[in-house]
Chain A
Amino acid sequence: MARAAVLGRLSWRVGTVIELRDETPTARTIVLDVPGWPGHAAGQHVDLRLTAPDGYSTERSYSIASAPDGDRLELTVEPIPDGEVSPYLAGVLASGDQLELRGPVGGWFVWRPGTADPVFLVAGGSGLVPLMAMIRARELTGDESPFRLVYSVRDPASILYADELRRRARDDRGLDVTCAYTRMAPPGSPRPAGRIDASLLIAAGWPPDRRPAVFVCGPTGFVEAAANLLVDIGHDPRRVKTERFGSTGGSP
């Protein structure tokens, strides 16, 4: 079934920006209307192509933040300082602008409703984006797989989808959300600021013997560390899927 969403040629389509939403002081969500969008699975991404007036063009990949919803597609972009594309998407792009894109891409780092396995999501920073698509798809389809999210984030102001996450943690049955702050924890936080560790993943995740499907997404260093910890505490490496935001050099 992983093949279904990507069968055939991935042709370039034109999407129109219909809404822009600030998520944090730096990150923003781009809502696109993409006529003929073939649908996607939670966790997949798209390739975007930007073209300058002199014909120079460049492509980047962005995770889809939204659950499948007809021709509507949401991406959330955290600008990388000195990046070539992300500052444009997060700052210059305006409502009504058009973007070329193709997808959905990727048949591995996906969650599909109906498996009933517990799901353990581990996000570092903007690595939350494809995991949020899974949380949204779960609720949208009425799937009852129990989800737990551990979200490692700089400080409270950097939380993506903060209001929605708070609401879902309260209202979505079977969804638990644990935020872990790396730089500054809010007053009264049960845990001091710091990197995620084994005790947090044990306390806020599923025990390995529940055989959860584990999805880890974030910057390379975060994913490497988190995946190693998950294996250390007994999770089956074959059940741990990772997606790394590759470059640290500011290129996207």
Chain B
Amino acid sequence: MGIVSRGFGGRRRSSRPDLPPGQYLVEDFPVLSAGPTPRIDLGSWEFRVVTEDGSKRSWDWAAFRAMPSEDITVDLHCVTKWSKLGTRWTGVSLDAILGDIETAAEFALVGSYGGYTTNLPLEDLRSGQAWIAYAYDGGDLEPEHGGPARLLVPHLYLWKSAKWVNGIQLLDHDEPGFWETAGYHNYGDPWREQRYWGD
């Protein structure tokens, strides 16, 4: 236990098993982005997967939306300490997107409109753990929350769930992304409180 803060009572007493260490609950949906919200025209929207040998697979919006989608309800944990539980999304599983792509890659570097990147082990995108989400709470995904489509990897801190996603590079080596080169943890497991380098 740390130093007791004189006169601090705190408020949230009930220990919640679904709240990772150091997180507090919010009911609204905060927005955190490093720059302006990019303007994305669905007519030119494209999502592409490029493998370690350079072969490419891409989807335009119609092809992407024609893929089977799933409704998912997940908890979100942001490295800035807020968590939002039971959020409802619709999206395409990365299992479907990666399904018939031949690769021996172990790492993924996810890219977005606007230039954002984030990295994670490829296995964290598989096995029903990650989606490209295009709807939130029954409606279109708002631009400030990453619309038209964002990555959703709820088992990692939310900066891994890249907004405005437009592609994934499959790599045989790990390549740290935007926040990962700016002091944030390379993996970002909220249950192990991996916020920053060295955590």
Chain A: residues with CB nearer than 8 A to chain B? 2-3, 5-10, 12, 14, 47, 49-53, 55-61, 84, 88, 92-94, 97-100, 105-109, 220, 224, 227-228, 230-231, 237-238, 240-242, 244, 246-249, 251
Contact = CB atoms under 8 A, between A and B. Distances in A.
A109 B34 CA distance: 8
Interface of B: 1-13, 22, 24-28, 30-39, 78, 80-82, 114-115, 144, 178-179, 181-183, 195-199
Contacts of A244: 30-33
Contacts of A227: 35-37
Contacts of B178: 108
A107 B26 CA distance: 26
Contacts of B35: 227, 237-238, 240-242
16 contacts: A3-B183, A6-B183, A6-B196, A9-B197, A51-B2, A51-B4, A51-B5, A51-B8, A56-B10, A93-B7, A105-B183, A108-B178, A109-B34, A224-B31, A237-B36, A251-B82
Given A47-B195, A51-B8, A246-B82, 19 more contacts: A5-B183, A9-B197, A9-B198, A50-B8, A51-B2, A53-B4, A56-B10, A56-B13, A57-B2, A84-B11, A93-B5, A93-B7, A99-B5, A106-B183, A108-B179, A108-B182, A246-B31, A247-B30, A251-B25
Nearest to A238: B115
A246 to B, nearest CB: 3
7 nearest A-B residue pairs (beta carbon): A9-B198, A246-B30, A107-B182, A6-B183, A227-B36, A249-B28, A52-B10
B8 A52 contact: yes
A56 B8 CA distance: 10
Contacts of B12: 56, 58, 84
